[in-house]
Amino acid sequence: MRTYIDSAFVDEVREADELGLVDGVTTNPSLVSSTDREYRDIIDELDEFVEGPISVEVIATDYEDMLEEAREYDTWGDNIAVKLPMTRDGMRALRTLYDEGIQTNITLVFSVNQALIAAKNGATMVSPFIGRLDDNGHDGVGLIEDIRTVYDNYGFETDILAASIRNPRHVQEVAKAGSDIATLPPEVADSMFDHPRTDGGLEAFLDDWGDRESPALK
């Protein structure tokens, strides 16, 4: 499973990249507004070292303005994926952008039917928000499993991108459910490294070795 970082802070993405966790990046207006920086400047910096898709989200809600934004975003780099909302106008825009060869990421997906519509219209990626479903008493990981089944049944090439990840357990669950991608908040990505047994084992090894010098440094 590929891992993206869900952040508009370049330093956070760079740190995750140094740990081998950046196959792509997702951004949204909320993340960008928290940086007090221009959207284009952030994307330009990310583009210097991120090799995979960088998702940039439209603000518009109507078809014509979505297209105008999407076409501008597409000029920002070769690996831009335009995020469109799962709405009727969003699907109209998706069909046009698919014909133009522009990568897309359909966001705010909460049902199998929505994921099916997005795939039928040529979405590059579809983003089910599993954490928000769990927050409201629904089964977010179960949605990933159901979408995986439908996509495999009919040979859809749209990637499933698990979004709204809340914790490390979500990561392992969506990986087991067959998600192609998980986009991770930096703090969740960092916490994937941690386990008390690892820390305890390392401490025990060092205690047993004591103050002796490493044989590699003699």
> What is the torsion angle, in degrees rounded to the nearest 10, for the CA atoms of residue 43, residue 84, residue 184 and residue 2?
-90
The neighbouring-strand residues paired with 57 are 83
Active site residue 218: no
* Pairing verdict, β 159-162 and 80-85: unpaired
- Rounded Cα distance, 60 and 43, in Å: 19
- With a CB cutoff of 8 Å and minimum separation 6, the contacts of 148 are 160, 177, 178, 179
Looking up tokens 């140094």, which residue turns up? 18
Catalytic residue among 83, 120, 176, 218: 83
Catalytic positions, written as ranges = 83
